[in-house]
């Protein structure tokens, strides 16, 4: 049953939902988790597949069209492809995608595709094994590349994107190898600026290697031409002027795209977040488990979304990062 579309008080229509299906992860990326991991949620604290399906279904009735499943590492959640199949069946959903570190893709690619996943982003910060190890604290690049290979056997999963976090002092050296990778493979490469969402709170403004700096490094060797930007698109996309492929830059710190932001997030334990940097969140689990009707839940979601933050304040004096790190939010 269609419901009134979801809007915030700034006139943005909300059509994009990210759901974190677990806070756990098998990697320990420097920019996300501490080496020792984080205190994981207990099993009964995490939304069940049925609870996720109910909340997502309701939001789809309110105009959410794009759903991305993330974590933590979504593929470590038991029977994850079963959840994908449940959600893929929702009427009104246009796009069902997944963000993963790729470690378990070799095992799961076939099941995920059969369940109905449409697009996949794989996070890879370096194409060199030792540097990949340094950033993720796991010596797993060959395993992740086998996962990409397994996905590439499924042409209907398109596009497959490779996302690299851009950190000063590390990613400069990755720019040209990734450009080469983008030119010679079917994968779409995106750099994403380092945001103050690392559990170690080591982020500083200086640690952000901007998309523009990376673009210049690549442009000096492989001239780039910008493509027109689509509404609500977070990436600036450039094509290689000699016609071979394209590469993208997601610049949330140096060029915030908040005014077009149509996204909300649901954490693994059922908190609704209206901005990556929200200081407030709205609990949906308690009402879900206390017998709230769909109309009750709709009202809670609508009120929370109405108060969606105008913009993030990362570049303003006095900025404080949220208590949750990226893995606990669902990036």
Binding site for ligand SAM (CB under 6 A): 25, 31-32, 70-71, 73, 99-101, 123, 163, 165, 192, 194-195, 197-198, 326-327, 331
Name the minimum Å distance from CB 110 to ligand SAM.
20
Decide whether 84 or 197 has the Cβ nearer to ligand SF4: 197
**Considering only 8-16, 24-32, 126-134, 237-245, which stretch makes contact with ligand SF4 by CB under 6 A?**
24-32
Q: Rounded to whole angstroms, what are the CA distances from 3 to 9, 211, 299?
A: 18, 39, 11
Q: Rounded to whole angstroms, what are the CA distances from 197 to 45, 133, 249, 327?
A: 22, 20, 18, 9
How many CB atoms are located within 10 Å of the residue 1 CB?
Answer: 5
Is 16 among the residues that bind ligand SF4 (CB under 6 A)?
A: no
What string marks each residue from 95 to 134 as x (binds ligand SF4 by CB under 6 A) or -? ------x---------------------x-----------
Write the DSSP assignment of 201-257 as a string of letters.
----GGGB--HHHHHHHHHTTS-EEEPPPPTT--EEEEEETTSS-EEEEE-TTTS--
Is 73 among the residues that bind ligand SF4 (CB under 6 A)?
A: yes
Decide whether 67 or 288 has the Cβ nearer to ligand SAM: 67
Contacts of 233 by beta carbon, 8 Å cutoff, 6+ apart: none
Is 140 among the residues that bind ligand SF4 (CB under 6 A)?
A: no
Is 192 among the residues that bind ligand SF4 (CB under 6 A)?
A: no
Contacts of 80 by beta carbon, 8 Å cutoff, 6+ apart: 21, 69, 74, 108, 112
- For the chain, the maximum distance between any two Cα atoms, rounded to a whole number of angstroms, is 60
Decide whether 18 or 222 has the Cβ nearer to ligand SAM: 18
Quickly tell me which residue has 């450009």 as its tokens.
179
70 binds, among ligand SF4, ligand SAM, none (CB under 5 to 8 A by kind): ligand SAM
**Smallest Cα–Cα separation from 251: which of 305, 312, 180?**
312
C-alpha neighbours within 13 Å on the C-beta side of residue 43? 2
Instruction: Figure out which of the listed residues 57, 72, 252, 322 binds ligand SF4, where binding follows CB under 6 A.
Output: 72
Instruction: Figure out which of the listed residues 18, 28, 263, 285 binds ligand SF4, where binding follows CB under 6 A.
Output: 28
Name the minimum Å distance from CB 300 to ligand SF4.
27
How many angstroms separate the CA atoms of 219 and 141, rounded? Answer: 27
Name the minimum Å distance from CB 71 to ligand SF4.
6
How many angstroms separate the CA atoms of 150 and 302, rounded? Answer: 40
**Considering only 65-73, 175-183, 203-211, 254-262, which stretch makes contact with ligand SF4 by CB under 6 A?**
65-73
Contacts of 329 by beta carbon, 8 Å cutoff, 6+ apart: 20, 197, 265, 267, 273, 276, 322
Decide whether 170 or 194 has the Cβ nearer to ligand SAM: 194
* Token pair of 148 as six digits: 């990409």
28 binds, among ligand SAM, ligand SF4, none (CB under 5 to 8 A by kind): ligand SF4
Per DSSP, what are the bridge partners of residue 161?
121, 188
Name the minimum Å distance from CB 197 to ligand SF4.
9
Is 215 among the residues that bind ligand SF4 (CB under 6 A)?
A: no
- Residues in contact with ligand SF4 by the rule CB under 6 A: 25, 27-29, 32-33, 71-73, 101, 123, 326-327
């Amino acid at each position: 049953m269609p419901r009134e579309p979801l809007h915030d008080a700034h006139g943005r229509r909300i059509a994009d939902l990210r759901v974190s299906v677990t806070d756990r992860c098998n990697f320990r990326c420097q920019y996300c988790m501490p080496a020792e991991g984080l205190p994981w949620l207990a099993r009964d604290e995490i939304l069940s597949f049925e609870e996720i399906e109910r909340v997502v279904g309701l939001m789809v009735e309110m105009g959410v069209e794009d759903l991305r499943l993330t974590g933590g590492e979504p593929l470590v959640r038991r029977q994850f492809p079963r959840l994908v199949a449940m959600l893929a069946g929702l009427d009104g959903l246009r796009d069902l995608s997944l963000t993963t570190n790729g470690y378990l893709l070799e095992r799961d690619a076939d099941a995920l595709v059969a369940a109905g996943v449409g697009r996949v982003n794989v996070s890879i910060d370096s194409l060199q094994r030792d540097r990949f190890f340094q950033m993720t604290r796991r010596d797993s690049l060959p395993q992740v590349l086998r996962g990409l290979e397994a996905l590439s056997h499924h042409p209907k999963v398109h596009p497959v994107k490779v996302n690299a976090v851009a950190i000063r002092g590390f990613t400069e050296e990755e720019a040209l190898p990734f450009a080469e990778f983008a030119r010679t493979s079917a994968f779409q490469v995106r750099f994403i600026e380092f945001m103050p969402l690392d559990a170690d709170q080591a982020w500083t403004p200086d640690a952000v290697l901007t998309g523009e700096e990376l673009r210049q490094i690549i442009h000096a060797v492989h001239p780039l031409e910008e493509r027109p930007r689509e509404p609500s698109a977070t990436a600036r996309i450039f094509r290689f002027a000699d016609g071979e492929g394209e590469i993208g830059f997601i610049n949330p710190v140096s060029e915030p795209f908040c005014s077009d932001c149509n996204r909300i997030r649901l954490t693994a334990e059922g908190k609704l977040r209206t901005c990556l940097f929200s200081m407030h969140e709205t609990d949906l689990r308690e009402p879900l488990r206390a017998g709230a009707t769909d109309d009750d839940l709709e009202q809670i979601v609508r009120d929370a979304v109405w108060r969606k933050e105008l913009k993030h304040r990362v570049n303003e004096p006095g900025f404080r990062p949220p208590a949750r790190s990226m893995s606990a939010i669902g990036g």
